[in-house]
Amino acid sequence: MNELPEILTAQIIATYLGISRRKVYELFQTVPKRGGIPNFDIGASKRVEKKDFTHWIEDQKSKKSKQVC
């Protein structure tokens, strides 16, 4: 995680998570309250701040642990 740039592309996220870029774009289109990755537009491209991505990962882990308990 430390090696990631401060602004992330869909490809960087896909590679990091080991999922397709298409799935990342699906997560971009999903509202963050429903599990989507918060993002912003740069022209026609989507970008994610590393801090938001880190927070999203922690939220996903937290939701998973609540389901198990």
Report pTM: 0.89
Q: One digit per residue, pLDDT tens: the chain, 69 residues?
A: 899 999 999 999 999 999 999 999 999 999 999 999 999 999 999 999 999 999 999 999 998 777 765
Q: What is the DSSP letter of 69?
A: -
